[in-house]
Structure 1
Amino acid sequence: MNQTDTDTTPPAAAPVGRVILLTTSHRVAPGLLSWPAWQALHGADEVLCADADHPQLPYLREAGVRVARTAPTAQELVDACAGGRTVLVVVGAEGDRALTDGLAGLAGSGRVAMPDLELLPASYDLPGARLLDLVQVMDRIRVECPWSSQQTHKSLAKYGIEEAYELVEAIEEGERDELREELGDVLLQVVFHARIAEEGGPDEEDEPFSVDDVAGGIVEKLIHRHPHVFGDDTARTPEDVKAHWLRTKAEEKQRTSVTEGIPLGQPGLALAAKLASRVRTAGLEVDVPAGDGVGYELLALALRAESDGIDPEAALRAAARAYRDAVRAAEGAGA
């Protein structure tokens, strides 16, 4: 009996191959892919992409990656991996649901030798990436929506006030879902106004600016007014931060009075508290004007509340909500 007659070693399993589904984010500039993604692209035996207009294709070709424009079925993709080949499929940010469902169906059938499957994100959304979506949606609405296309800064002004009040209400009510929604509504106002401003104005001096200019301006302001974070200054208490903020703001605006920049159109109690806060921060001694009537009484109450660290506007709203509840209770009792 020879050696071959007694050899019970099982035959080597055929290589199963490998399928790589490579996803990219449309919120990242095309061509900016991770190093593992570039390695996979150059190392694959075949690279496929069903979308002829996929934004990554020109950059892949420029990098020497040959891409076949085809939309394989799950079975065709499995067959293409025969002999241990690696096939990479470039898909969109959301993947290819039909293809992945088909691969899952084949794997679950138990009748097909499946290749190794890998989902490889080639680019990732950075924090704030969805803001790019908001800008794109706003651009389209501004052009295609009959109502939005006619709006101006003045026509939208009332909505800015309403959304700000609704945001405050959500904060005071402690409703987390409402807070998220109202923050979005306030953000919409910012993006809407910036989109309108991008078109310029009727006068030559109304130079256009974009949401990037708005964001860039506030970034510069925050950095300049936080030298204890971005510079060499120190601030040990919140009071130190506030004092520096006001001092820097006064230098930027070249204001001659602490009252400058306070909007007089805000609610009366809030206006009185803001004036009192500026006076206290500046260390001024100011006599409270005396007079008859409810207005002066409310002024005195607002100044006292501010000195005690109480927001008189918020305090009155809380009392008003309690009054609202009492009204509802009375209505229920009389029903």
Structure 2
Amino acid sequence: MDATDPTNAPSPGRIVILTTTHRVAPGLLSWAAWSALRAAEQVICPDPGHPQLPYLREAGVSVGHAAPTGRELVDLAAGGRTVVYIPGADNDPALTDELARLAGSGRVRMPDLELLPGSYDLPGARLLDLVQVMDRIRAECPWSSEQTSEALAKYGVEEVYELVEAIEDGDRDALREELGDVLLQVVFHARIAQDDEDEPFSIDDVAGGIVDKLIHRHPHVFGTETAETPEDVQAHWQRTKAVEKRRDSVTEGIPLGQPALALAAKLAGRARSAGLDVPLPDAADELGEVLLALAVKAAGDGQDPESALRAAARRYRDAIIAAEREDRED
């Protein structure tokens, strides 16, 4: 056979770029990743502090720490060898860019290139990043390190109202942003609570509490009870909540600091759910009693008076802007 026959040339080999995520515990790699690591003629990780390395050593995988160029990596794979490359935290873009240039040049016989995810982010993984960022900000930012929950309370109220506005506007980008701002308030308050000397708790305690509550209050999902309609679900929720809270009055737990129309509707809803027929206070000629009667009626009709008034106010705002525009044109 002709020695110059390209089919007789040695195999260019294989380069496997093995990526991992810091959001999954090191050592928890896929079977495909472990198989590639054990079968490789050479494993390279230029970062000697990479969190995966202790687990690779424990598994008997030898790892080199020299930082090769793209061309050097191609040469290492020549002759049918398999080389596994574990990039650093930034995924070594200079190396991958060089490999792409070599492949596109047409002048280099390239090995097979394979991107192999060794571990994957699970849903909610970026929440771990948020917790880590908040930890650092709390420790290093002069303003954030001095904040208390009492000082931040007003921002929580503002962020919730901005979230409601984004929902009413139907603005998806704003909705995503405002949800993030509300989530920041939760993580910030939990981080402050973690520093409390007397009764500390963490974001994990907050998340664990709401997980337990959701499971307990959804026996039709996580238990043996059934619920065919939204009304059945509400009934389950209220019964379970009553047992948990052991309240003496249906009004307990209703925040009196919320907007007045929402407060009136909430009180009316609680009374109606408890089967109480409570007459409205006298002095119906006073403005407050008139508004109360309207709020109670709206709640009984299944309407949210706070949202209705806010929508009307927004239309009124638009009318004011239109009138101002007409005045300017005149």
Q: TM-score range by the shorter chain?
A: over 0.9
For residues 274-321 of structure 1, what are the alpha-carbon distances to aligned partners after superposition, in whole Å with 9 as ceiling and x for unaligned? 011111111211111121311000001101111111100000000000
**One of 120, 131, 134 as aligned partner of 1:135:** 131
What's 2:320 paired with? 327
- Distance, in Å, in 2 between the alignment partners of 1:268 and 1:48 is 65
- Distance, in Å, in 1 between the alignment partners of 2:135 and 2:307 is 37
**One of 210, 214, 217 as aligned partner of 2:209:** 217
In the TM superposition, residue 93 of structure 1 has moved relative to its aligned partner by 5.6
- Tell whether 2:310 aligns with 1:317: yes
- Distance, in Å, in 1 between the alignment partners of 2:14 and 2:131 is 39
User: How does the TM-score come out when normalised to structure 1?
Assistant: 0.95
In the TM superposition, residue 95 of structure 1 has moved relative to its aligned partner by 2.2
In the TM superposition, residue 92 of structure 1 has moved relative to its aligned partner by 3.6
**One of 280, 284, 287 as aligned partner of 2:276:** 284
For residues 254-291 of structure 1, what are the alpha-carbon distances to aligned partners after superposition, in whole Å with 9 as ceiling and x for unaligned? 10111110011110000011011111111211111121
What's 1:228 paired with? 220
- Would you say the 8 A contact 1:243–1:281 is kept in 2? no
SS in 1 for 2:86: strand
- Residues 332/35 of structure 1: CA separation in 2 closer, same or farther (3 Å cut): same
RMSD of aligned residue pairs (Cα, Å): 1.6
- Distance, in Å, in 2 between the alignment partners of 1:102 and 1:52 is 22
**What runs of 5+ residues in structure 2 fail to find an aligned partner?**
none
What's 1:52 paired with? 48
For residues 93-145 of structure 1, what are the alpha-carbon distances to aligned partners after superposition, in whole Å with 9 as ceiling and x for unaligned? 65221111101111111111100000000000000000000000000000111
- Residues 293/35 of structure 1: CA separation in 2 closer, same or farther (3 Å cut): same
In the TM superposition, residue 328 of structure 1 has moved relative to its aligned partner by 0.8
- Distance, in Å, in 1 between the alignment partners of 2:279 and 2:88 is 67
**What runs of 5+ residues in structure 1 fail to find an aligned partner?**
none
- Distance, in Å, in 1 between the alignment partners of 2:90 and 2:235 is 48
- Tell whether 2:295 aligns with 1:299: no
Letter in 1 for 2:141: C
User: Identity of counterpart residues, as a percentage?
Assistant: 72
Spell out the pairing of 1:1-335 with structure 2 (5 A cutoff): 12-92=8-88, 94-201=90-197, 206-291=198-283, 292-335=285-328
- Residues 11/222 of structure 1: CA separation in 2 closer, same or farther (3 Å cut): closer
- Distance, in Å, in 1 between the alignment partners of 2:5 and 2:169 is 73
- Would you say the 8 A contact 2:15–2:84 is kept in 1? yes
- Distance, in Å, in 1 between the alignment partners of 2:32 and 2:275 is 60
Bigger mean CA deviation after superposition, 273-282 or 284-293: 284-293
SS in 2 for 1:111: coil
Give the total of aligned pairs: 327
- Would you say the 8 A contact 1:23–1:93 is kept in 2? no
User: How does the TM-score come out when normalised to structure 2?
Assistant: 0.96
- Residues 331/178 of structure 1: CA separation in 2 closer, same or farther (3 Å cut): same
SS in 2 for 1:136: helix
SS in 2 for 1:68: coil
- Residues 96/220 of structure 1: CA separation in 2 closer, same or farther (3 Å cut): same
